Amino acid sequence: MVIIENVNKTFGTKHVLKDISAKLYKGKCNFIIGASGGGKSVLMKCMVGLLTPETGSITFDGRDFLKLNYNEKISVRKDIGMLFQNTALFDSLSVEENVAFPLRMFTDFSEEQIIERVNFCLSRVNLVNLNKLFPSNISGGQKKRVGIARAIALNPKYLFCDEPNSGLDPLTSRVIDELITDITKEYNITTIINTHDMKSLFVMGENIIFIHQGQKWWEGEKAEIRPSGNKELLAFMEASEF
């Protein structure tokens, strides 16, 4: 479980995150939704340690990330897998080398064990026979799957997904959604998804946090959205429907 308490983040005079507190549950797909510029990406960057909030705490299963020393932070980070909006695959490495990268960096596996694990992760995301291709030679959906394979290579406890469906067609989006849901349940990990995609939210969303103008505006389950009567949340949902 990840617990966020009273997190504040400013950039110069702009107060981007205003006293945000939330709980993100293990074994669930936790969604952070909100309009562009509302602060959800900043919140995610604070959670993974790319940004440091001015106040508050972010606790990963009892470990307060902001109070840890450098080495302790590294050990938490090794428990984090992240799927980036633009996949962030290493251009100079092949698909196989991308997935093998965290294994080569952080384990003492033999080359055979690494390749075995890479093949397992790639088959888990339904990618076969692409090992030797480079990111520039595969499609957007395949890149996302390689990103997921890399993110799960070290068996993370926390999976962060930043706009996992951006730039994908509806069918591929559905495949990625199903993959993330299956992986979350299978490995019982805490998955945090930052998205605008309401279809994904209604398919896989379990715990939902709505960020509006830098504040946590609403939190609950998807069945509670419509009865909530929350004007801004309902307006955001209606704008996203078609």
Partner 1 sequence: MKFFQHFGEYLLFLKAVFTKPEKGKIFFKQIITESNNIGVGSFAIISLISGFIGAVSTIQIGYQLVSGILPDYLIGRIVRDSNILEFAPTVTALVLAGKVGSNIASEIGTMKVTEQVDALEIMGINAANYTSLAKIIAGVFSIPMLVLYAMILSLIGGAVSGWASGIISVESFVKGLRTDFMGYNVVFALTKAYTFAFLITSVSAFQGFRTQGGALEVGESSTKAVVYSCMSIIFFDYIISQLMLFK
Q: Where along the sequence are the contacts to partner 1 (CB under 8 A)?
A: 48-50, 73-75, 77-78, 80, 82, 84-86, 88-91, 101-102, 104-106, 160
CB nearer to partner 1: give 77 or 174: 77
How many other C-beta atoms can be found within 10 angstroms of the C-beta atom of residue 50?
11
**48 vs 115 by CB, closer to partner 1:** 48
SS3 of 94-110: the string is: CHHHHHHHHHHHHCCCC
Enumerate residues 6+ apart whose C-beta is below 8 A from 105: none
5 and 59 Cβ atoms separated by less than 8 Å: yes
Range list of H helices, 29-110: 40-48, 70-77, 95-106
Could you tell me the smallest distance in angstroms from the CB atom of residue 146 to partner 1? Answer: 12
Q: Which amino acid is at 81?
A: G
Identify which of residues 89 and 225 has a Cβ nearer to partner 1 in the complex. 89
Minimum distance from residue 49 beta carbon to partner 1 (Å): 7
Residue closer to partner 1 by CB (options 41, 200) is 41
CB of 213 to partner 1, least distance (A): 24
Which CB sits closer to partner 1, 73 or 174? 73
Tell me which H or E stretch contains 50. Answer: none
**In the bound complex, what is the minimum distance in angstroms from residue 82's beta carbon to partner 1?**
5
83 Cβ contact partners less than 8 Å away, ≥ 6 residues apart: 144, 147, 148, 151, 159, 160, 161, 162, 164, 180
25/101 with CB nearer partner 1:
101
Helix segments in the chain, DSSP class H: 40-48, 70-77, 95-106, 111-124, 140-152, 170-187, 198-204, 225-228, 231-240
User: What whole-number distance in Å separates Cα of residue 85 and Cα of residue 79?
Assistant: 20
Least CB distance to partner 1 at residue 60 (A)? 13
Q: Rank residues 160 and 210 by Cβ distance to partner 1 and give the closer one.
A: 160
Token pair 């962060």 is found at: 160
Q: How far is the CB of 77 from partner 1 (least distance, A)?
A: 4
b/e burial code for range 161-181 (CB count within 10 A of at least 16 → b): bbbbbeebeeebbbbbbebbb
Q: Closest distance between partner 1 and the C-beta of residue 89, in Å?
A: 8
